[in-house]
Structure 1
């Protein structure tokens, strides 16, 4: 009976470690810091949407494409670049990626046409492509498995907090110095963080923190493509985790991209005020990701299926609150309901990441999280802004946003299917692992 409620050994390379060393938290803080820079560079664009629209006379579709092209590049390149990072070295890959997105953000500041901006934004996406998967793989390799949903939720929440800073600071800088200065400020912060990370974090210093028998930060991992695919897609439940996570993230991506514009159009807010107000919604999303990850870990401590149940509940809460909120008249009550819905909008991220880690071998965790990132981007983050823009050009921005809450309802179905298969999948994977080591 105890075995039925224990955390799985599959993918739990750090399960026997209960201590957490100080340097691990330093690495975690710096890795999250770079994630903040990642999303500051990505989301500063949303704060200056109205200025770009006026300066270059852009349609909502073109504005949306400047946001979606980043997620598209991430979706297309995250898997191959993460596999390369597993083989080349995760720390070196992180430094290279962060340098690229910072320089590309500087390129955005220097753009003079829509085409140049689109190209620069594409390179921002190329630089960011594998960072989420490689960064979380580094973090999970140096912490015990009991903290996985909490760490994953907190790490991914760094994207929300980075978006808050990018939108709030970007809007403030743009209001006083123009939109070019906003991109320049984000680029400068990224470059400084890259230099600090390069000096503090090394493969050699990470090695003592990792469990015995694991490859140092993924360096030197070699396996055939068929074996890799088998490890990544071995069960129905892990596929459901990929799909559910990706679809449910369409909501925060769409709302983060278009909330400043909605506040400007429906509430008559200035550029600076709209950006700061929208940043509050992003902040609420990030807080929700951390809180929901912690709740999922607590509820799933003695019954492993409960993390799936938590993900389902978070999705349903988001669906109900946002469906009502976007149909209410403009005013404080609408903003309160939208804020409550955004609290749960990315709440399934922590449980999803924990399930992927539990259902895949530690040696391919960067590739597994790359697959999760691929699903997150292609199913949710990449299409969200541009699809909302296309629909907004036809029925108005508010009408387009009223359709967005359908996504978490679909995600809840995927998580429900995953929950039904989870116990059987874990038992089968544990049996195969034990057979292979006999």
Structure 2
């Protein structure tokens, strides 16, 4: 009783505990996903796999995430976000353990498909849960920080998986990721409850004068709310376009360092990982800076997104046109630092421009656009152009996409007021039903 009372007396501390556990599960998500890349050579040697089959073990996860993220996010909003997170994390951890026990390519492919099933909606449901227990003024910070977990988890998964695979075998690498997931699932299940989340949500809703007893909207209203204004569509699109550049540069950075700096492949990969970490750190810093600047004027989040887009265009554009050397690396590092800095502002705008009852499918839509417009085509289109004008020319062209993102954010800012009015009208109608 005393412990419960103490916990209730510090809702802010509890919210940060929930954030820490949710963020840790995101790290586990990406570590379980990316550990495969570290053991490619060992799997190839063990089963004599072709590169096509190796690639399919990675692609099957992305395919499952892309296909299932939206429907599972809608389901999670109805079944309960906390329960859904526990189920998803338990599933991807169990599937990762299945990867460790796989005796053939077919068994590994099936296990990886279940990894994708477990991870499909976690990003959207996790960030929706976090935003529901924190003040709106922190949305850019929290969204940027949460999304940065994907970059950190990818690096940790490849680094830790590689070391474990070398010293203990590839099965141990998968097994370690699974064990980490199970530990975090248990901690999350014991500490985070639907009742505590609902209690905090109700207090904030009353403070804002918003009704908290409306039922979950039907699918027709969900779709209408997801695309209710020009501004929210611009937020989706601007975020995806910036991640097109991020995906292109990160994917081709090892090859760039190998071809133009003469680095051997292993050193080029390690050096490229530094750029990935810079990108993840930039998401956090840019999100926090956005919230600080826009504390008294939420519309400034659009301005910050525009600033980050233009900075990424200038730094990456100048960097790839500069000759090889320290100056070029500094410019490229700065560009990578800010290129995904728009993730926090864009996520905050999506949260502001959609009803709270559909935040999980809203962030699923943002994830879908980030992948279909950004992370998936970025490396592919850059490679297509590189085949025709060379890798350097393709990378010099990639930052031009930031100008289109800037236009999207500028249009979103111009229509922001109308978008907010549309959301308020929908919430008012829902409260009366």
Asked whether the 8 Å contact 1:164–1:280 carries over to 2, the reply is: no
Q: 2:51 corresponds to which residue?
A: 58
Q: TM-score, normalised by structure 1?
A: 0.82
1:175 CA drift (Å): 4.9
Alignment of 1:39-438 (within 5 A): 39-47=30-38, 56=49, 58=51, 67-109=58-100, 119-176=110-167, 181-212=172-203, 221-260=215-254, 262-263=256-257, 267=261, 269=263, 273-388=267-382, 400-430=394-424, 433=427
SS in 2 for 1:304: coil
1:276 CA drift (Å): 3.4
1:237 CA drift (Å): 0.4
Higher RCO structure (Cα 8 Å, ≥6 apart)? 1
RMSD: 3.4
1:170 CA drift (Å): 3.2
1:64 CA drift (Å): 6.3
* CA displacement 1:263-317 (0-9 Å, x = unmatched): 4565555665444333221211111111111121122223332211111121222
Structure 1 portions without partners, runs of 5+: 1-18
Moved more, 414-423 or 396-405: 396-405
Question: Structure 1 residues 281 and 129 mapped into 2: Cα distance closer, same or farther (>3 Å)?
Answer: same
Asked whether the 8 Å contact 2:228–2:422 carries over to 1, the reply is: no
1:34 aligned onto 2:25: yes
SS in 1 for 2:51: coil
Aligned length: 416
Question: Structure 1 residues 176 and 318 mapped into 2: Cα distance closer, same or farther (>3 Å)?
Answer: farther
Q: Distance in 1 between matches of 2:130 and 2:280?
A: 18
Moved more, 42-51 or 375-384: 42-51
Q: TM-score, normalised by structure 2?
A: 0.83
1:253 CA drift (Å): 2.9
* CA displacement 1:127-168 (0-9 Å, x = unmatched): 211111111111111111111111111111122221231233
* CA displacement 1:314-370 (0-9 Å, x = unmatched): 122222322333444544333322211110121111111111111111111112112
Asked whether the 8 Å contact 1:46–1:257 carries over to 2, the reply is: no
Asked whether the 8 Å contact 2:229–2:418 carries over to 1, the reply is: no
Structure 2 portions without partners, runs of 5+: 1-9, 207-211
Q: Distance in 2 between matches of 1:269 and 1:51?
A: 23
